[in-house]
Structure 1
Amino acid sequence: MPMHAQPRTLDDLLLYRTSRLLSVAGSMVIRLCEGRFGITRREWRLIATLAGHGALGSSQLAEHAQLDRARTSRAVSSLVDKGLVSREQPAGDRRHVRLRLTSAGTKLHAELYPLVCAINTELLGALKADEVALLDDMLQRLHARGEAMVAAAADLPKADRRRREPPVAR
């Protein structure tokens, strides 16, 4: 199903197709996370982010993981309860908390990351090396375009999933 500059069906939309790819291939990661390691995919994202960046403040972690602060806070609380992340308050500064992986969190990351990499490698095995490089370049450009589109659309209303009434059309 080729994509078209003027999509005719849902299957022609890039975002729909990438979402379907994530749903199919990502389900393997979810099964590993939840079935073998007892964490959610969101918790895995935070663990991997802390493993890659070291100790971070809560807002920094949310930004790096590209999650909203409320979801990050809930996931961090769960990870703290599971003993995978610790909260540390610098002396004399009760407003700022640093989050870091515990030794159990570091161990989990060391076990799970190679498995996730193997899924990634298997998926990319459908492409030739030059196609992988081209895909990487295209994804970077599409990401930059997406960020520019979001910045240009700052006047769009924010999502409010708790709203019971449909929004008034403008």
Structure 2
Amino acid sequence: MTLSLQAPRALDDLLNYRLLRLFALGGAPVIRLLEGRYGIARREWRLLALLAAHGEMSPSQLATLAHLDRPRTSRALTVLVAKRLVGRQVAAADARRARVSLTDAGRALHDEIFPQVAAINQQLMSVLDDPTAQALDAALTALTEHAQRLNEVTVRDVRADRRSGGSRRLRRGDDMESP
């Protein structure tokens, strides 16, 4: 029998949509914790956690690790610098080059929040027995690696033009009937 994820017929059968729903529902308690108790956004938390895990790096490297575009990363870093959770050191030789790292306050905040986020994660995962959790971990790893390969071979010169409200194909009128 073919699973609906392997032969999708509706939105609820699409893997990305199901993962998005899980992300939204499973992440809601984390967002309430971060915003309600600590006054930081999920994106800010992601940057803090990555800096805690990987140490000092350039904003571009951080954007790549966080799967964010550079402007969003820059805005979030500006907020984190203003909150004194992240420090930004500009290279003396080239003002365009910078490195970011956690401040002592940023490290302390990460160390306070992470166990709480991990506990929420454990609560979410508690419905799975060990073999199912291991299978999920293996499946997520395989899907992530395959998605990475797909992104590397996908046509790179075709990009959606979001400002014009659609794809280039629609703007060119390839599929539109003539009046």
Q: Same fold (TM over 0.5)?
A: yes
**CA–CA distance in 2 between the matches of 1:120 and 1:165?**
37
- Fraction of identical pairs, as percent: 46
**CA–CA distance in 2 between the matches of 1:42 and 1:142?**
23
Map 1:123-134 → 2, pairs under 5 A = 123-134=124-135
8 Å contact 1:4–1:12 — kept in the other structure?
yes
Partner amino acid for 1:98?
Answer: R
- Render the CA deviation track for 1:17-57: whole Å, top value 9, x for unaligned: 11101110111111111111111110000000000011111
Measured after TM superposition, the shift of residue 3 of structure 1 is 2.8
TM-score calculated relative to the size of structure 1: 0.91
Query: 1:148 maps to what in 2?
Result: 149
**Partner-residue secondary structure (3-state), 1:63:** helix
**CA–CA distance in 1 between the matches of 2:156 and 2:90?**
37
Map 1:80-159 → 2, pairs under 5 A = 80-155=81-156, 157-159=158-160
Change (3 A) 1:164 1:15: closer
Partner amino acid for 2:139?
Answer: M
Change (3 A) 1:57 1:122: same
Q: Which has the higher contact order (CA 8 A, sep 6+)?
A: 1
8 Å contact 1:62–1:72 — kept in the other structure?
yes
Give unpaired runs (5+ residues) of structure 1. Answer: none
**CA–CA distance in 2 between the matches of 1:14 and 1:123?**
19
Partner amino acid for 1:25?
Answer: G
**Partner-residue secondary structure (3-state), 1:168:** helix
Partner amino acid for 1:121?
Answer: Q
Query: 1:163 maps to what in 2?
Result: 164
TM-score calculated relative to the size of structure 2: 0.87
Give unpaired runs (5+ residues) of structure 2. Answer: 175-179
Measured after TM superposition, the shift of residue 156 of structure 1 is 5.8
Query: 2:177 maps to what in 1?
Result: none
**Partner-residue secondary structure (3-state), 2:163:** coil
Partner amino acid for 1:44?
Answer: W
Measured after TM superposition, the shift of residue 100 of structure 1 is 0.7
Tell which structure's C-alpha radius of gyration is larger.
2
| Residue 58 (structure 1) aligned with residue 59 (structure 2) | yes
| Residue 6 (structure 1) aligned with residue 7 (structure 2) | yes
